[in-house]
Structure 1
Amino acid sequence: MLNPVAWWRQQLRGTFSNNSPTVPQWELDLEMGDDAGYFGPDSAAWAVHGSMTTLVAGIQALLIQALHPGALAGVHDHSNYRTDPLGRLAGTIQWIFTVTYGDTVAAIKASARVQRLHGYVRGNYTTNAGEQRPYTANDPDLLRWIHLAFTQAFLATHQAYGGAIPGGPDAYVADWAVAGALMQVKDPPTTVRELQTQLATFNGELRCDERAAEAIAFIRHPPLPRSQRAGYRILFAAAVAALPPLYRELMDLHVPGLGPVPLPVKIPTQVVFAVVRASLESPGPSETAARARRTRLGVQDAPRKRR
């Protein structure tokens, strides 16, 4: 029988791996491949995606994405997020980490697989002008919105709660533009200014209607084990606090506070990060596999810095 600490760690690891009892095979397979991959240990992508801030970023990305009625229609009509949220989370993590840590062939194949799955996601949604518009998950505008929302969330939350980014914020936007290109996003932003400019072009299309409110409520209260709920409430508050004000207002979400005085969320968030970090492998299996591949290929990397 597991002791309480070991049991809690097993539950936590299961949340990120769809309850896999062992390290998923796809992570181990990242050690294979014939090149160093698109990114390395000194990249902005490794710094951001290898940090604990991804726990907040994932929440924020889902919140932002839900504001576009076309993107939300695809999730509402075709996703099984209500009945299998861990499966959807695990699939997203697999794509992000494969592109970040895998060799170029693995990254290309993972992105192509997502696009094939997207080919089945199609339907219609109502625009803010009241028009019926057809959508597919591979629609260029929707692909751009998802990419922009992801980049915005991961950058903003790391800036709020994480450490330094090698090369600065622009370097992260430029790194993740590679992922955008793999997903067939045309001319993805490569600087923070371009990111904000492209996001602004969607402002008139965004809304928080009943369907969006339902999705946001699910994101706010997902069916997590009881042992993880208090920590998740802190992470959700951190995601809300780091949202751009426009998006926060659309969703009618508020930074926790006592009346008009906002409560600090950074320190509690850092405490949650520390607890999770102590419960998971550091570095994680994906980064460990990537470093082993790079060593096999003779790529000289600097020693890993703690993030």
Structure 2
Amino acid sequence: MSAEPSSGADPGLVGPNSVSWQLHADPAMWLAGIAGLYLQSLHPLAAAGVVQNSNFREDPLGRLIRTAKFVSMSTYAPRAEVEAGAARVRAVHRSLRGKDPATGRTFRIDRPDLLLWVHCAEVAMFLSVVRRAGFGLTKAQADRYFDEQRGSAALVGLDPDEVPGSTEQMAAYLHDMRGELRRGDDSEVVYEFLHKPPVRGVLGVGLPIYEPAVAHLAYSLLPSWAIRLHGHRAYSPTTATTMLRTLRSAAFIVPAPIRWRAPHGFVPQAMRRLGRSARPTARSLPLD
């Protein structure tokens, strides 16, 4: 995807000349990640897999942080570290089973169709939300992003050739999936949990702000068809976009080296490995 740095340092899976490298460092990615969880939960088996296998009630922030860590690691870490982390994720997925709430049948969490849905829902929301927040991309750059993310799909065991690699392919996939998506008991559990995670202490004090400014905003950033399927009222598209861009602008007040320490400092580590030219910025987006 990108040229090797002149220093010979390992650029990782996509490298600093990729769309992913620039887009995944944007502060709007945190809201995009939450929106992705709402979208994923519309698949009955994906939602059942989360509810039946996750300890999110005991570790309410764990799922989001683990997802953010994997995305950041797979984008910015050296390839050997990426492959080792991916192997651990695949091993966990292989060990997990779920029970279909409709039929009672047991299913594997690592079924290719489920892995594909989770991947596509995730990266589709990454691109949609960050672009909506004001991160400008041409169509060619958006297509390139989905093509780059075929590599991350391969990390969890998917055949890259079977993964949407352009905006048209992603739109067609999401359209074709609508017949399998629905609101259910498990999607409601995810919706309620994301709105009101059972956090305590200092984090609990912030819930009155978190719910409207983060949780419900992320829900409102879903495609209109997904909001209709969930069945809960959302902010108007104009209100949601305004709130998103306001929060993103506020996040930029925080110096980038501080923002990039989470999760687990993969961006600063990549810059130390590859040099200052690897600093994520929209100005470094690859040309069409």
Distance 1:200 1:266, change over 3 A: closer
RMSD: 2.5
- Identify the residue that residue 277 of structure 2 maps to in structure 1: 301
- Identify the residue that residue 153 of structure 2 maps to in structure 1: 180
The one-letter code matched in structure 2 to 1:152 is A
Distance 1:209 1:282, change over 3 A: closer
1:121 matched to 2:96: yes
The one-letter code matched in structure 2 to 1:141 is D
CA distance in 2, matches of 1:229, 1:162: 27
Between the aligned residues of both structures, percent identity stands at: 27
Distance 1:303 1:105, change over 3 A: closer
- Identify the residue that residue 29 of structure 1 maps to in structure 2: none
Distance 1:203 1:234, change over 3 A: same
1:146 partner SS:
helix
CA distance in 1, matches of 2:104, 2:180: 13
Which of 93, 109, 117 is the equivalent residue of 2:68?
Answer: 93
5+ unaligned residues in a row in structure 1: which ranges?
A: 1-32
Q: Pairwise mapping of residues 61-80 of structure 1 onto structure 2 (< 5 A)?
A: 61-80=36-55
- Identify the residue that residue 18 of structure 2 maps to in structure 1: 43
Which of 231, 251, 269 is the equivalent residue of 1:289?
Answer: 269
CA distance in 2, matches of 1:94, 1:106: 12
Offset from partner CA, 1:210-255 (integer Å, 9 cap, x none): 2211211111222452236415522334323331221110101333
- Displacement of 1:197: 1.5
2:149 partner SS:
helix
- Identify the residue that residue 198 of structure 1 maps to in structure 2: 173
1:145 matched to 2:117: yes
Q: Pairwise mapping of residues 1-307 of structure 1 onto structure 2 (< 5 A)?
A: 35-127=10-102, 131-165=103-137, 167-186=140-159, 187-224=162-199, 225=203, 226-227=205-206, 229-256=208-235, 264-279=239-254, 281-284=258-261, 285-295=265-275, 301=277, 305=281
CA distance in 1, matches of 2:228, 2:165: 27
1:135 partner SS:
strand
Tell me the TM-score normalized by structure 2.
0.82
Q: Which segment drifts farther, 52-61 or 166-175?
A: 166-175
2:272 partner SS:
helix
The one-letter code matched in structure 2 to 1:287 is V
